[in-house]
Chains A and B, each alone.
Chain A
Amino acid sequence: MKRRDFLKSVSGLAAGAALPAMPQVISSAYADARSETLLIVSEGGPNNLDIHGVGTNVPGYEVSWNCYDRLISHEMKTGPGGVPYYDRDKFKGELAEDFKIDDMSVTFKLKKNAKFHDGAPVTAKDVKWSLDRAVSVGGFPTFQMSAGSLTKPEQFVVIDDYTVRVDFLKKDKLTIPDLAVIVPCIVNSELVKKNASEKDPWGLEFTKQQTAGSGAYKVTKWTAGTEVIMERNEDWVGGPLPKIKRVIWRMVPQAGNRRALLERGDADISYELPNKDFQEMKANGKLNVVSLPFSNGIQYIGMNVTKPPFDNPKVRQAVAYALPYQKIMDAVMFGLANPMFGAAKDKATEVAWPQPHKYNTDMEKAKALLIEAGYASGFETTISFDLNFAGVNEPLCVLVQESLAQIGIKTTINKVPGANWRTELNKKEMPLFTNVFSGWLDYPEYFFYWCYHGNNSVFNTMSYKSAEMDKLIDGARTAAAAGDTATYDKDVKGFVDLAYTDIPRIPLYQPFVNVAMQKNISGYQYWFHRRLDYRAMAKG
């Protein structure tokens, strides 16, 4: 027995002694490779490399953004905190050398030296085929194109090998910005057609597994759920050659481990960490933490206005006065959000979105309003949230529950699994819920069109309908297209005011996009899609 114990302890010692030597050997051997490689760790990875695919998830958008080019892209400006921020109103050519906007069309001249990853030149027929594809495949890409009034293949006209014209169906201020989002990416049409089949005329199965673009990076290896490896395209003409040669993107499901990897200096960049971690990392200063507000996005409490008790505006106002805004900011968001409440009484409404409303936590007022509405003894209801974002949603709902109980509204918390959340939203039956909405296109009327308009889209989660609201939203859209600033400003102010007096949804805060990176990483840019753009990044 003694001998056995002895053997055990010896082997334990040997294992312990062998361990520390290993990582050092590995890291010195790969030191060179590391300096030109960017190691990203995140919770989830792509499920499809093509944004036109069926059900491509958000990480897939990041691959598309970096591996495909669009005709045009946004210029950069300096955003909050000096971080480069995309300029909503200024465009530059990416595949297009230049472009000319006429009254009812826009004409693009393509860069003649642009090549796809396989060496084939990028021509006008590739552009037409790709845009046709985006408006025809259905699902999200087609929907996004339609947001800029791009719906028919006939709108895309080939003039010659290097010239393409896009015809407008109607005047729409969002058409040009919509050509600079991720969806209208230009695909290698010959290559994809070769791999398409009768059942799959757009070759979606092929582009799901590999990138067929002209972008700054190409995917060289993809193991779903584990890693994506991208290499730089040395012949990229869409902009200056990126500094990072290789991007390794690993999926690390555990948030604690992602933080450990960052703090140990093994990973270069991570996002999707709990707010508390970001706040602590910011405080200890070992890493660079960039926090920028979601453009055109808010987290809100929504109420179903079709059914009692929330069909009564008084009840909705009572809830708006009973929410623990500041507590949510401090205990849930750890300060990493822009407050959307408590604006000064005399503050004029701005032509901007999002902007804070004037409600504040005021229990007396809330109680008084509830009595006025005829609910002196309160009522019972349920508050629902999406479990996919439980890290924020759960404590938030607990705080709301606690607060509402003080004015006699008893709430039960209903946790909805992520897979089920959209279905539940679509049914429009949840009486009280919290959710986030943010639009890629950063225009107030765009947000209101989806969230408040009487055509009752999925995002009008409150089923709010008001003729006056519709008139204001439609008015702002028409005015924007016609360039009528005075009417536009009046209508925008009008619908913001109406949304805040009727208050079917109560904005809580504008969340932040948080990205933590090593001090030697530079070139992070904020984009409307909130994913990373590797093309501007550098290491060391």
Chain B
Amino acid sequence: MLTMIGKRLMFAIPSLIGVVIVTFLLTRALPGDPAAYFAGPAATKEAVEQIRKKLGLDKPLIEQFFRYTNDLAHGDFGNSLTTGQPVAAEIRNRLPASAELTLLGLIVSVVIAIPLGVLAATRPGSWLDHLCRVTTTAGVSLPVFFTGLVLVYVFYFRLGWSPAPLGRLDVFTSAPPTVTGFYLIDTLIARDLEAFRSALSQLILPATTLAIFSLAPIARMTRASMLAVLASEFVRTARASGLSPTTVIVTYAFRNAMLPVITTLSMVFSFLLGANVLVEKVFAWPGIGSYAVEALISSDFAPVQGFVLTMAVMYVLLNLVIDILYGVIDPRVRLEG
């Protein structure tokens, strides 16, 4: 098993090298001149040149690239110009914020979508099936920022139930000492219930927004895969043998229907992690998606490269975990390169 994992990780190296090269070239190919941008509105030509020199952008591309890879090898992702902070530190601070939100959103989504999908599959054509179809279609066709804004409008602005959409904590609550970076866990470790409550109440609306959006792929995939499995021969055999419907569905059918669902889950998770920019914007969430987009808008190379690289590593690891999970769920699947 361990050698397999090692082998898989080895295979990931070429793709990571590819990612490093491609992001470097792509960010350089972006229109816009960071030196002109950061020299400020009142800069003269000389001022722009001075800034260019300071940023090392006057050097030939190949030299810039070697300097970049050398820094990378030393764990230095460079400095972001928009926020003025080292990229590695920023990603370290922001990734848990995004991950906590995405995970919670995904858990909420799974808790609703999988039972809904299973139920819809066991009674195709019934009102439950239609309900499943309607909710998932509605969820996926509403843009996330719209759902987010509606939730803010109703639960914060109109009803006043939810706290102000001001990021991860209430303004007057201080952040817990960082252990995992997940506030829900860190506040419990610090035994700060007030902060835990604040963190949780800040999370509910954005997590719900994400859940509504990710409901569709999970529920639809569960339903489709369950339908296929329920129509297969071994289920018929199980039914014919007089097993109770619960045993048939939960023990036999569901386990076999899990594989595509797990794949979808991993896709949805990695997609949401990087792509929930809009939710982050709506809820002033200090996450990684909004960070990358802001950097992109200002031609800030280092964070964009750091972001893409981090996401690439996450994908590789996630795929590995999924593959291992396959093996656990279905012993016939072997972990091979």
B-contacting residues of A (Cβ < 8 Å)? 1, 4, 8, 15-16, 19-20, 22-23, 25-26, 29-30, 33-34, 37, 39, 41, 46-48, 53-57, 138-140, 142-144, 208-209, 223-227, 248, 250-254, 256-257, 260-261, 263-264, 266-267, 417-420, 422-423, 426, 457-459
**Contacts known (A33-B172, A139-B47); A261 close to B153, Cβ less than 8 A:** no
Quick check: is B171 within 8 A (CB to CB) of the other chain?
yes
Known: A55-B81, A426-B48. A263 touches B157 (CB 8 A): yes
With an 8 A cutoff between CB atoms, is B299 at the interface?
Answer: yes
B294: chain A residues at CB < 8 Å are: 225
Find chain B residues with CB under 8 A from A261 CB: 164-166
0/1 string, B34-75, CB within 8 A of A gives 1: 101111111111011011001100000000000000000000
A418 and B297 within 8 A (CB): yes
- Flag if A22 contacts B172 (CB, 8 Å): no
A-B contact pairs, 24 of them (CB 8 A): A1-B119, A15-B204, A19-B162, A23-B163, A23-B201, A25-B197, A26-B172, A26-B198, A37-B172, A46-B84, A55-B37, A55-B51, A138-B50, A209-B84, A224-B83, A225-B290, A250-B167, A252-B166, A254-B149, A256-B149, A260-B165, A264-B157, A422-B43, A458-B45
Select which of A22, A53, A426 is within 8 A of B84 by beta carbon: A53
Q: Are B281 and A254 in contact (CB under 8 A)?
A: yes
Known: A1-B119, A19-B204, A426-B36. A54 touches B51 (CB 8 A): yes
Total residues of chain B contacting the partner, CB 8 A: 67
Closest residue on chain A to residue B294 by CB atoms: A225
Q: How far is the CA of A278 from the CA of B284 in the complex (A)?
A: 21
Please tell me if B160 contacts chain A, counting CB pairs below 8 Å.
yes
Please determine whether B171 and A39 come into contact, CB atoms closer than 8 angstroms.
yes
Interface residues of B, Cβ cutoff 8 Å to A: 30-34, 36-45, 47-48, 50-51, 54-55, 80-85, 90, 93, 112, 115, 119, 149, 152-153, 155-157, 159-167, 170-173, 194, 197-198, 201, 204, 281-284, 286, 290-291, 294, 297-299
On chain A, the residues within 8 Å of B39 by CB distance are: 55, 139-140, 422
In the assembled complex, which residues on chain B have CB atoms less than 8 Å from the CB atom of A227?
A: 167
Report which residue of A254, A266, A418 has the largest number of chain B beta carbons within 10 angstroms of its beta carbon.
A254
Asked if residues B51 and A139 are in contact (CB atoms below 8 Å), the reply is yes
Chain A residues with CB under 8 A of B43: 139-140, 143, 422, 458
Q: Are B284 and A457 in contact (CB under 8 A)?
A: no
> What number of residue pairs across chains A and B have CB atoms under 8 A from each other?
178
Q: Give 3 closest A-B pairs by Cβ, nearest first.
A: A55-B38, A224-B83, A419-B32
A418 touches B42 (CB 8 A): no
Residue in A30, A248, A260, A417 whose beta carbon sits within 8 Å of that of B157 in the complex: A260
Min CB gap B207→A, angstroms:
11
Query: Could you tell me if B85 and A252 are in contact, using CB atoms closer than 8 angstroms?
Result: no
Residues of A within 8 A of B284 (CB): 226, 250-254, 257
Pairwise interchain contact A55-B172, C-beta atoms closer than 8 A: no
Q: Evaluate contact between B42 and A144: CB separation under 8 angstroms.
A: yes
Which of B34, B43, B162, B290 counts the most A-chain CB atoms under 10 A from its CB?
Answer: B43
Known: A139-B39, A260-B153. A419 touches B297 (CB 8 A): yes
Q: Which residues of the other chain, A, contact B47 by a CB distance below 8 angstroms? A: 138-140, 142-143
A253 to B90 alpha-carbon distance, docked (Å): 18
On chain A, the residues within 8 Å of B153 by CB distance are: 260
A55 nearest in chain B by CB position: B38
With A19-B201, A419-B37: A257-B172 Cβ-Cβ less than 8 Å = no
CB distance from B52 to the nearest CB of A (A): 11
Partner of A417, one of B84, B281, B297: B297
- Report whether B156 and A260 are in contact in the complex, using a CB–CB cutoff of 8 Å: yes
- Contact check, B84 vs A248: say whether CB atoms are below 8 A apart: no
Query: How far is it, in angstroms, between the C-alpha of A143 and the C-alpha of B152 when the chains are bound?
Result: 45
**Contacts A15-B204, A23-B201, A260-B153 given: A419-B84 contact, CB under 8 Å?**
no
Q: How far is the CA of A252 from the CA of B93 in the complex (A)?
A: 18
Rounded to whole angstroms, the CA-CA distance of A419 and B47 in the bound complex is: 17
A419, B295: Cα distance in complex, Å:
10
Contacts of A15 in B (CB 8 A): 204
**Residues of A close to B162: CB separation below 8 A:** 19, 23
A22 pairs with B163, CB closer than 8 A: yes
A252 to B284, CA, bound (A): 5
Interface contact A143-B286, CB-CB below 8 Å: no
Chain A contacts for B44, CB-based, 8 A: 143, 457-458
Chain A residues within an 8 Å CB radius of B282: 254, 257
* B210 CB to nearest A CB, Å: 16
A433 CB → nearest B CB, Å = 15
- How far does the Cβ of A118 sit from chain B's closest Cβ, in whole Å? 22
Q: Nearest residue in A to B284 (C-beta to C-beta)?
A: A252
